[in-house]
Amino acid sequence: MKHKRVHIVSQYIISTAVLLIVGWAVFFPENILGIQILDYNVHLMIGMFLIGFGALTINYTKVMVTSLGACMLLCIFLKNESNEAMIMPIANTEAKISVAHFNVSNVQDLDHLIKTIDDLDVDLLSFQELTPDWNYILQEKLKTQYPYNMSIVRIDPYGMAMYSKENFVSIDTFMFDNKPNLQAELLIDSKKISVFGSYVVPEITKASTVQTKEHLDLISYKIRDTQSPVIALGDYNMVYWANAISRFRAKAQVIHSRRDVYEDGLKPPYDHIFFTTDMECTKFENINDPKEKHIGILGAYQIKTKYIIDKSLSTTLSSLSI
């Protein structure tokens, strides 16, 4: 009898702990600890699955049900924060653009980077953490294939550049707390497409959390004020299921390009590409070096086909239904 009571009490204790941990992970408070836990929601999901499987082997039924339920909740939470489209859209006849984004501070093999860029053959390249040395290298290596560029060279992490095969219709810079953001506009098949490049500080203190929110608010206002379709990319230094990213997507009315979670060891990806609702993402990939270290991301996009409703046909169908 005593053994049975201990068995039941142990299950309730473990189940309660599981619910508390997952509740914190999904409905986390707006503080630094909660933000840091976010990075490991995928690991937590896998852990809950393993706990549930382990509980099954020792006949801890309540723990099994609770853990697998928590695993399912985390799956739903992560999927809701990613791109909801399960299948890539079919290519249409509208304007298309392909972009690749790199943080050069992660690059250790220059030859592999240049070969990767040649193989990708995208329309636009984005680089961040651009130092004077890297600026010289990129200018020399890319001047033939990508003759048009805009570079902001700095010795801190906020240097950035965009390289394009086609001439920019316009390119501008807007600042936030002395941190530059690039805003370029391209004309592709007679359609204007704007590209925003931003580097957002990581949320490591209360002050940086406020700063991040204000920076993302500014970017969202700029996107909303842009009349053309928009692609926003860069190192946002937080996972895509972070609260700050969710608010940014809602304010800017943009969609995330990632359809699933990609893990590079214990570190989730912090670089992202967002796009406005008048576009579709037809391809998204992570870019790794030969040692499988994450160095960038690739995305391909197209403007959505505009369907024209034939009013006369609608009228005919209405009359037939009557």
Higher pLDDT, 30 or 79: 79
Instruction: Kindly give, in sequence order, each residue whose CB lies less than 8 Å from that of residue 135, ignoring residues fewer than 6 positions away.
Output: 151, 153, 159, 161
Task: Quote the pLDDT of residue 185.
Answer: 96
60/195 Cα distance (integer angstroms): 53
At 49, list the tokens.
């699955």
Residue with tokens 């960038």: 296
Q: Is the pLDDT of residue 239 over 80?
A: yes
What residues pair up with 233 in beta bridges, in sequence order?
197, 273
110/87 Cα distance (integer angstroms): 34
Task: Work out the average pLDDT over 250-271.
Answer: 78
Q: Is the pLDDT of residue 2 over 70?
A: no
Task: Work out the average pLDDT over 240-260.
Answer: 88
List every span in the chain annotated with CATH 3.60.10.10.
Answer: 96-303
Select from 3.40.50.2000, 3.60.10.10, 3.40.50.10440, 3.40.50.2300 the CATH code of 96-303.
3.60.10.10
Task: Quote the pLDDT of residue 162.
Answer: 97
88/287 Cα distance (integer angstroms): 19
pLDDT digits (tens, 9 = 90+) for 38-74: 777 777 888 888 888 888 788 888 888 888 888 888 8
Residue with tokens 């590209």: 195
pTM of the entire structure? 0.83
Q: Is the pLDDT of residue 97 over 90?
A: yes
Which helix (H) or strand (E) segment holds residue 2: the answer is: helix 2-26
Highest mean pLDDT among 39-48, 97-106, 257-266: 97-106
> 67 by DSSP, 3-state: which?
helix
- Give the ranges where the chain is alpha helix by DSSP (H): 2-26, 32-38, 41-57, 61-81, 110-120, 132-142, 206-225, 243-252, 311-321
pLDDT digits (tens, 9 = 90+) for 168-221: 999 999 999 999 999 999 999 899 999 999 999 888 777 888 899 999 999 999
Task: Quote the pLDDT of residue 211.
Answer: 92
